[in-house]
Amino acid sequence: MSATQRALLLAGLVLLAYANSLQGSFHYDDFHSLLNNPHLRRLGEIPRFFADPGSFSADPEKAMYRPVLLVSYALNYAAGQYGPLGYHLVNRALHLGCALLVWRVGLQAGANPTGAWAAALLFGLHPLATEPVNYISSRSESLAALWYLASLSLFLGRWPGWALLCFGLGLGSKEMAITLPAALWLAEQALGRNRGAWREHLPFWGLGLAYVVLLWSFGLVGGGGGADPGPRDLWAQFWTQAKAGAYYLKLVAMPVGLNVEHAFSEAAGPGHPAVGLALLLLGSLVWLAWRSRRQAGVLWLALALLALLPAVVVPLNVLVNEHRLYLSLAFLAVAVGRSWDPLRRYQGYGVVLVVLCAALVVQRNREWRDELSLWGSAAQHSPAMPRVHAHLGEALRRMGDLEGAQREYETTLRLDPRHRAARTNLGNLHYERAQTQSDTAAARREYALAAAEYEQVIQLDPDYREALNNLGSIYLVLGRTAEASQVYQRVVALSPNFPEAHYNLGLALVRQGRYPEAVAAYQQALRLHPDAETWCSLGEVRLLQGQEAQRQGAPDGGRQQWQEAIACYQQALALDPANTRAATRLRQLGGGR
Look at residue 296 in the predicted model and tell me its pLDDT.
58
pLDDT exceeds 60 at position 352: yes
CA gap 202, 220 in Å, rounded: 25
Higher pLDDT, 517 or 590: 517
Mean pLDDT, residues 264-268: 77
- Report CA torsion sign: 196, 201, 206, 208: negative
Contact 45, 55 (CB under 8 A): yes
Q: How many helices (H) and strands (E) are present in the chain, helices listed first?
A: 29, 0
pLDDT band of 62, cuts 50, 70, 90? confident
CA gap 338, 185 in Å, rounded: 19
Look at residue 125 in the predicted model and tell me its pLDDT.
96
Range in 19-33, 233-247, 423-437, 541-555 the model is least confident about: 233-247
CA gap 40, 52 in Å, rounded: 13
Contact 294, 194 (CB under 8 A): no
CA gap 575, 116 in Å, rounded: 52
Q: What angle do CA 12, 16, 17 make, to 5 degrees?
A: 120
Q: What is the DSSP string of 559-571?
A: HHHHHHHHHHHHH
- Exposure of 52 by Cβ count < 10 A (0-12 exposed, 13-18 middle, 19+ buried)? middle
Q: What angle do CA 249, 255, 259 make, to 5 degrees?
A: 105
Out of 85-99, 427-441, 525-539, 562-576, give the one with best mean pLDDT: 85-99
pLDDT band of 169, cuts 50, 70, 90? very high
Look at residue 342 in the predicted model and tell me its pLDDT.
63
Average confidence score pLDDT of the chain: 89
Range in 163-177, 263-277, 460-474, 493-507 the model is least confident about: 263-277
Burial 60-80 (b: 16+ CB within 10 A, else e): eeebbbbbbbbbbbbebbeee
Mean pLDDT, residues 319-346: 85
Look at residue 592 in the predicted model and tell me its pLDDT.
46
pLDDT band of 558, cuts 50, 70, 90? confident
- Residue 348: phi and psi, rounded to 5, are -60, -40
Domain boundaries, the chain: 3-26+82-262+280-308+324-367, 542-593
Contact 428, 450 (CB under 8 A): yes
Look at residue 374 in the predicted model and tell me its pLDDT.
95
pLDDT exceeds 60 at position 293: no
205 SS3 class = helix
pLDDT exceeds 80 at position 181: yes
CA gap 131, 260 in Å, rounded: 8
pTM of the model: 0.83
Look at residue 226 in the predicted model and tell me its pLDDT.
42
Cβ neighbors of 243 (< 8 A, separation 6 or more) are 264, 267, 272, 274, 275, 278
Look at residue 194 in the predicted model and tell me its pLDDT.
61
Higher pLDDT, 557 or 189: 189
Contact 450, 476 (CB under 8 A): no
- Provide the CA 59 distance to its chain's centre, in angstroms: 12
pLDDT exceeds 90 at position 13: yes
pLDDT exceeds 60 at position 66: yes
pLDDT band of 224, cuts 50, 70, 90? very low
Mean pLDDT, residues 187-205: 81
Cβ neighbors of 381 (< 8 A, separation 6 or more) are 257, 259, 262, 263
pLDDT exceeds 90 at position 415: yes
Contact 567, 531 (CB under 8 A): no
Higher pLDDT, 342 or 51: 51
Look at residue 297 in the predicted model and tell me its pLDDT.
65
Chain segment 85-106, per-residue pLDDT in tens? 999 999 999 999 999 999 999 9
Look at residue 593 in the predicted model and tell me its pLDDT.
40
pLDDT exceeds 80 at position 345: no
Around 330, how many Cα atoms within 13 Å sit in the side-chain half-sphere?
32
- The angle, 0 to 180 degrees and rounded to 10, between the axes of the packed helices 3-17 and 84-108 is 140
| CB-CB neighbours of 271 under 10 Å | 9
Look at residue 225 in the predicted model and tell me its pLDDT.
41
419 residue type, one letter: H
